[in-house]
Structure 1
Amino acid sequence: MDDNTFEKTPITLLGLGAMGTALARTWLTAGHPLTVWNRTPAKAEQLAAAGATVARTADEAVAASRLVVACLLDDASVGEALAGIDLHGKDLVNLTTSTPGEARTRAEWAHGRGARFLDGGIMAVPPMIGIREAGGYVFYSGSRALFDDHRSALEAPAGATYVGEDAGFAALHDVALLSAMTGMFAGVTHAFALIRKEDVAPRDLAPLLVDWIGAMGSMVHLTAARLESGDYTSDVASNLAMMVAGNATLLRTADEQGVSPELLIPYMELMERRLEAGHGSEDGTGLVDLL
């Protein structure tokens, strides 16, 4: 049976944390026969009432379906849950958060046990699962055939974006986006800290920050183009020498406002190193190579 048949593909889901439970409810709503397993059986009770079959062991759960989805705590948990279980002929989709290296190793591990493997990086929080307009999606990498065979099932909880045969690419894309988000949050945190003790309402600064971050977002495309062309100096509006000089004002302002510059300093130090190496006419693209 596959997703092109009239009947919905049976799915086994290992792990019923917040994300696993959200996935389970979505697949049940979509009409997929679902077998679930969790180390703490009590978490499966509500899903049983919703129509899921609760397996007593991970072995029993895996035996119930060809398509097996893992959504556990970490990569080690996947290995522990599936240790000694026959995976021959199974399609294993790992939605457990992992690193690219862990995903590649897990793919080899699965192939060695006769299973096809697909790794996933979920770009959503549990409340977004099953709500198409929320915009959540999942990066997938590994077996293209597995992805194509089960695409409709994989798309039921959230959008599905395939990023390559390399099993590590889903985690790589996931972490790349999360890393950019972390840097953005650092900047927003520093901005709010600067006004915290002033007569400036955070709600008044918020829309200005949103607009500013959106406007600066176009620089992502320019950076990508420069990295691909190797030209870091043509049509540079604000070069590295200017930006490093301007950093002094940012630091003095932080000092005046009693705000620690610790979220800014690491990036500024990279800028200074690139400048000292003779790249003052570039924009900031060269910091990618410096890292």
Structure 2
Amino acid sequence: MTSTKTPVSVIGLGRLGAALAEAFLANGHPTTVWNRSPGKTEDLAAKGATVAGSLTKAIEASPLVLTVLAHHGAVRELLDPVVGSLSGRTLLNISSSTPEDIRKLATWAQGHGADYLDGAVMAVPQAIGSADAQVLYSGSTAAFDSYGEQLGVLGAARYVGEDPGVAELYSYALLSAGYGTLFGFLHGTAMLDSAGVRPTEFLALAVPWLNGMVAFLSEIARETETGDYSTGESSLDINLFALENIVAASRTAGVDPAFHLPTVDAVRKRIAAGNGDESASSVFEVMRTRG
């Protein structure tokens, strides 16, 4: 029986690349794999993958070619000598880089006759193929229209726009929000540690507090999107007072306050411009300044 599943080629078999290839195999996709170190292909071959004898053969085996390498430069370096074989195919890059570098990679691929999609995986490798995995895609609309539904085997597939760099930008924005929460929690934990409070004791209060902050994000989004900071309940002046007290308390406790100092500087800058009575979210106008 002929498979109706799109054949795919996965180039680069680190933990993430191997997990992606396994998800395709588990869902019936004819899957070809290639890696500089042949030993990494053995487990996948045992699960039904075809091991390509060369990089060119790996590319030519499938209309959809995934590169799962360290960064965009590694993709260019690897594919440059065989770039002619990309013509007429879709290159799906899962390698992380800056959005601008990804745009350059897309232009390079398109200049050699390939459609280009970029994928930002918002999951650890062991979650690939599960309900917990999400992959953001940007680039060629036609390519996503062709393959988006089948890419759902990797995790929830969401197309975020034609700009090839925007999926990666989304991923960094999500990580920024997550890191702010993670490292903010660790900073608070360090402050309380100076008074002998266990992290698990802090957790009991932190979780409901942070859930309340998350619920407030819709209002933050509305204010920043409209540029109307006049109706917020918490002004910059009030928040600067709190931030400066956090910094002072940190120093007294022997805790490095560096995590909060950039925010303090941004708030002070906005207040110095005469906006102290605005909502705290108006610090967005300082953050968005493009120098």
Would you say 1:177 and 2:182 are equivalent positions?
Answer: no
Would you say 1:110 and 2:113 are equivalent positions?
Answer: no
SS in 1 for 2:161: coil
TM-score by length of 1: 0.93
Distance across 2 between alignment mates of 1:31 and 1:6:
8
SS in 2 for 1:73: coil
Tell me how far 1:230 sits from its aligned partner: 1.6
Distance across 1 between alignment mates of 2:43 and 2:183:
39
Residue 247 (structure 1) aligns with: 243
Which among 125, 131, 142 is matched to residue 145 of structure 1?
A: 142
Tell me how far 1:275 sits from its aligned partner: 1.0
**Could you list the runs of 5+ residues in structure 1 that have no partner in the other structure?**
none
Tell me how far 1:84 sits from its aligned partner: 2.7
SS in 1 for 2:228: coil
Pairwise CA RMSD of aligned residues?
1.4
Which of 143-152 and 19-28 deviates more? 143-152
Tell me how far 1:245 sits from its aligned partner: 1.7
Superposition map of 1:1-291 within 5 A? 7-85=4-82, 86=84, 87-132=86-131, 135-234=132-231, 236-291=232-287
Q: Is the 8 A contact 2:72 2:101 kept in 1?
A: yes
Tell me how far 1:57 sits from its aligned partner: 2.1
TM-score by length of 2: 0.93
Amino acid at match of 1:248: E
Which of 108-117 and 79-88 deviates more? 79-88
Which of 139-148 and 200-209 deviates more? 200-209
Tell me how far 1:6 sits from its aligned partner: 5.6
Distance across 2 between alignment mates of 1:214 and 1:40:
45
**Could you list the runs of 5+ residues in structure 2 that have no partner in the other structure?**
none
Distance across 2 between alignment mates of 1:103 and 1:177:
18
Amino acid at match of 1:34: T
Tell me how far 1:258 sits from its aligned partner: 1.4
Amino acid at match of 1:115: A
Aligned residues: 284
Distance across 2 between alignment mates of 1:52 and 1:195:
52
1:199-256 CA deviation, whole Å, 9 max, x = no partner? 322112113212211111133222221122221112x211011111222321232122
Distance across 2 between alignment mates of 1:110 and 1:249:
52
